[in-house]
Amino acid sequence: MPAPIRLRELIRTIRTARTQAEEREMIQKECAAIRSSFREEDNTYRCRNVAKLLYMHMLGYPAHFGQLECLKLIASQKFTDKRIGYLGAMLLLDERQDVHLLMTNCIKNDLNHSTQYVQGLALCTLGCMGSSEMCRDLAGEVEKLLKTSNSYLRKKAALCAVHVIRKVPELMEMFLPATKNLLSEKNHGVLHTSVVLLTEMCERSPDMLAHFRKLVPQLVRILKNLIMSGYSPEHDVSGISDPFLQVRILRLLRILGKSDDDSSEAMNDILAQVATNTETSKNVGNAILYETVLTIMDIKSESGLRVLAINILGRFLLNNDKNIRYVALTSLLKTVQTDHNAVQRHRSTIVDCLKDLDVSIKRRAMELSFALVNGNNIRGMMKELLYFLDSCDPEFKADCASGVFLAAEKYAPSKRWHIDTIMRVLTTAGSYVRDDSVPNLIQLITNSVEMHAYTVQRLYKALLDDISQQPLVQVASWCIGEYGDLLVSGQCEEEEPIQVTEDEVLDVLEGLLVSNLSTPVTRGYALTAIMKLSTRFSSVNRIKKVVSIYGSSIDVELQQRAVEYNALFKKYDHMRPALLERMPIMEKTATNGPTEIVQTNGETEPSVVESKHPPPVTQPTNQANDLLDLLGGNDVVPVIQTTMPTKPASAGGELLDLLGDLSLSGIPPMTAYNKNGLKIDFTFERANPNPNIAVITIHASNSTEADMTDFVFQAAVPKTFQLQLLSPSSNVVPALNQGTVTQVIRVLNPQKQQLRMRIKLTYTLKGSAVQDLAEVNNFPPQSWQ
Amino acid sequence: MIRFLLLFSRQGKLRLQKWFTPLTDREKKKVIRDMTMLVLPRPPRSSNFVQWRDLKIVYKRYASLYFCAGLEQHDNELLALEVLHRYVELLDKYFGNVCELDIIFNFEKAYFILDEFLMGGEILETSKLAVGATMEEADTLQETMEEYMSKPAY
């Protein structure tokens, strides 16, 4: 059997392959040869074969059949074998395979080997990929090596200990004695790894942190020596002595000085010294300055030092080097909350970064700009941000639009400015705004009563220009539906009123209905708007015609609306004016999360036009519908995840726990639903021991004369909750309140947010299927706090 | 800590992969794919930092090779650039004017050098001379004269 080909020979051969197929063929051939060689237990060439296997593995081919061979290599006496064996183990094995445990014994032996390089291999492998079991078994050996005087082994043992602690935190204590004189070492490798070890311990345990605070003076001294010492060829990087060690020490000082006055005071001087003396012409100096700034901002430094730090960041912002600008923006973002005024001083530089060509920098600058917006600078900042919105890449538009809306809402100097800003966003980035901004905007517009005429006029003009951006079109249709009368009567005070006839308006709305650019949702908006105009315009016949045409539309949504509106014309014409009357001022339920528009006039709607809810609500309802339909069937499946669209809570704070008191007993029951004879009550209790879980029992009762059969109750909750539905007591709700169906719902509410729920009920009554959706919003505060 | 270090060519071919956290083969392949797609299309004058999932990605191009490291949130990106540079210097010292071919044909040596410089995602040795000396001594332990002379050992 000829000797297997050499590694570099193989590499050369594979590189000559011209196609993927050719390469695969070569590899398969070689793998077959290697496999048979392994089967023959060939000791001489095992090393060579595993090395080749590792090369092929890097190309992406499977190499698992070499795992055991790596173990054999590790167990060999030859250094070459061990080197390749350990490398193979690190590349091919990980803690998921049971095979890796077989290494433990070999590593243990090698940790006690007479040659330090073998010991080094073992430490390295353990420190890179040792599993928790291995770490537990070998921690004692590592601890022993941590106390050796051999600096080569000591530094490796230190990082190995770091890995052990990361895997098995409970073992941290056993390394404590060995750390006693780690910092007195002269060897930089040992010093560096010791600082890493100390940092890891301090980060994980407050006790360790307190214990190691006494090292602050020693660390300061070491850092001082590094800065003051002359040129040292061994550790020099562009004129700076061992920057890696300097940065690590600064980081440890940061952890030790945080929330501790004495330690912070002890390091003030050295921090000022590093901040002022470090050479900034090269990246390495800036790396140290960067770490220094982070440390100054985190400890209890005196104000002079903090100002120095922010000024360094300000200088970074003006640096030509993009990396430094990026890092400055990131740091400023972190400090903007605590040192707001200081950061404000650099606002113009930050805004200039919006125009940078680099994508990463633009994003950071955008985030920081939004953080800096306040009541004083809103007009100027918004100008810049809107300009940015105009010209930025699509990946930014959604976030920027949301940011603009939020900022405008918080700091708008006037209603007109607010509406103008929104208009600008809708016209420039209209297709990128988030879905829930449409209901938000509608609410805003409704509540700005004096601006109705101006708003509808501007929106109308925008529609004439462009009907492709759906959120804009939806808001515009809604407004025209509501305020069309103001539009045609030319009542606008804010700007020159335009002359528009009723027919022109209806032309535009009908155009939306037929256009290919309109989504089904938009069409729904348009149809409802047309309907509303029947009480505001005089051309009722035209509207009647349009509505009846869509009674046979393929789109089920449109069809249903049209049919119901038709019915409104034919049978319930007397109710029409009342139903289509102007919307009242809407109350906001929460500034974050899906905006639920709650009617405050308490009007009850006749069941015929049940689905003629204000259009803004249909969007979230449709999505919840889709979810609930996925549950399907009559079996109640435990609902684990729900997908009601929720905006992540940003600056938040509205959901304050005003009551505070977590009394668990006596949460009052509530009626969640009561319609058409079906009444559903909720009773509450808290699950022990987890106070974040609310256990709700529903009680369904039926006051009609017939039983409700095939009763199914389903529920959906916003994204931040988790819901579990257990099996119901029965599927039949007996008539005349003779009995109840009960079912248990468990709701996990880790963020203690206000509990809201959408429920879907289906049942059969007197032979016909009934289905209903409802919102449950009236949960008592104690059930979710 | 550094979570991973990848070296790949301008065509996206992997030349070295060092993982400091346990990942499945599938996850590793995904990360490699994501990194190449993230880094390769970037215009030449961009910053060397990109945010990806919860990690900071630091990359630098040296001739035909991209060096790409994934850092945790509290790591210093500017220093990471120095770490990448130091590794290149170590390779350069060892191979004498290193080029991509050296790393292709001697990938195991590239790993050995890396293992004397970094461990568990942290810097092990800050002195260039120390790493160089260690490599030389360890090489002398290779069993045959042929291997020591860094002729193809395998």
Q: Which domain holds residue A514?
A: 435-580
Report the pLDDT value the prediction gives residue A603, as an integer from 0 to 100. 36
Whether residue B152 lies within 8 A of chain A, CB to CB, comes out as: yes
Report the pLDDT value the prediction gives residue A1, as an integer from 0 to 100. 60
Q: If you average pLDDT over every residue of chain A, what do you get? A: 84
Report the pLDDT value the prediction gives residue A747, as an integer from 0 to 100. 85
Residues 230-269 of A with CB under 8 A from B: 233-235, 237, 242-245, 247-248, 251
Contact B78 A287 (CB under 8 A): yes
SS3 A760: strand
Q: Are residues A558 and A678 in the same domain?
A: no
Residues 30-89 of B with CB under 8 A from A: 43, 45-51, 74, 76-79, 81-83, 86
Residues of A in contact with B74 (CB under 8 A): 251
Residue A136 lies inside a defined structural domain of this protein:
no
Residue A478 lies inside a defined structural domain of this protein:
yes
Report the pLDDT value the prediction gives residue A689, as an integer from 0 to 100. 59
Residue A599 lies inside a defined structural domain of this protein:
no
Whether residue A588 has pLDDT greater than 70: no
CA distance, residue A388 to nearest chain B CA (Å): 19
Whether residue A706 has pLDDT greater than 90: no
Count of domains for chain B: 1
- Domain end among A521, A550, A580: A580
Rounded to whole angstroms, the Cα distance separating A773 from A759 reads: 6
- Domain end among A550, A580, A610: A580
Could you tell me which residues come within 8 angstroms of residue A434 by beta carbon, excluding any fewer than 6 positions away? A398, A401, A402, A647
Q: C-alpha angle A505/A506/A507, rounded to 5°?
A: 90
Name the band, by pLDDT with cuts 50, 70 and 90, for residue A160.
very high
Backbone angles phi, psi at B59, to 5 degrees: -135, 155
Q: State the CATH number of the domain containing residue B101.
A: 3.30.450.60
pLDDT in tens, A102-125: 899 999 999 999 999 999 999 999
CA A350 to chain CA centroid, nearest Å:
25
Rounded to whole angstroms, the Cα distance separating A354 from A480 reads: 36
Residue A278 lies inside a defined structural domain of this protein:
no
| Closest chain A CA to residue B107 | A55
Whether residue B149 lies within 8 A of chain A, CB to CB, comes out as: no
Q: Which domain holds residue B104?
A: 2-150
Report the pLDDT value the prediction gives residue A608, as an integer from 0 to 100. 34
pLDDT in tens, A400-448: 998 898 898 888 888 888 888 888 888 888 788 887 788 888 888 888 8
Report the pLDDT value the prediction gives residue B60, as an integer from 0 to 100. 96
Name the band, by pLDDT with cuts 50, 70 and 90, for residue A631.
very low
* Least reliable range by pLDDT among A140-149, A528-537, A600-609, A685-694: A600-609
Question: Residue range A382-401: average pLDDT?
Answer: 89
Count of domains for chain A: 2
pLDDT in tens, A284-303: 999 999 999 999 999 988 88
pLDDT in tens, A302-336: 888 988 998 899 899 989 899 999 999 988 988 88
pLDDT in tens, A229-279: 878 889 999 989 999 999 999 999 999 999 899 999 999 999 999 999 998
User: Which long-range contacts does A208-212 make (Cβ < 8 Å, 24+ apart)?
Assistant: A208/A172, A208/A176, A209/A255, A209/A256, A211/A176, A212/A256
Rounded to whole angstroms, the Cα distance separating A759 from A711 reads: 13
| Per-10-residue mean pLDDT, chain B, length 154 | 96 96 92 96 91 94 96 95 97 94 95 97 96 93 57 47
pLDDT in tens, A161-204: 999 999 999 999 999 999 988 999 999 999 999 999 999 999 99
Residue A680 lies inside a defined structural domain of this protein:
yes
Report the pLDDT value the prediction gives residue A208, as an integer from 0 to 100. 93
Residue A712 lies inside a defined structural domain of this protein:
yes
Contact B154 A51 (CB under 8 A): yes
Whether residue A779 has pLDDT greater than 90: no
- Number of CB atoms found within 10 A of residue B7's CB: 24
- Domain end among A580, A602, A621: A580
Q: C-alpha angle A337/A343/A344, rounded to 5°?
A: 105
Nearest to residue B25, comparing CAs of A92, A86, A90? Answer: A92
Whether residue A449 has pLDDT greater than 70: yes
| Closest chain A CA to residue B48 | A323
CA distance, residue B82 to nearest chain A CA (Å): 7
Cis status, amide bond into A689, omega within 30 of 0: yes
Residues of B in contact with A242 (CB under 8 A): 126
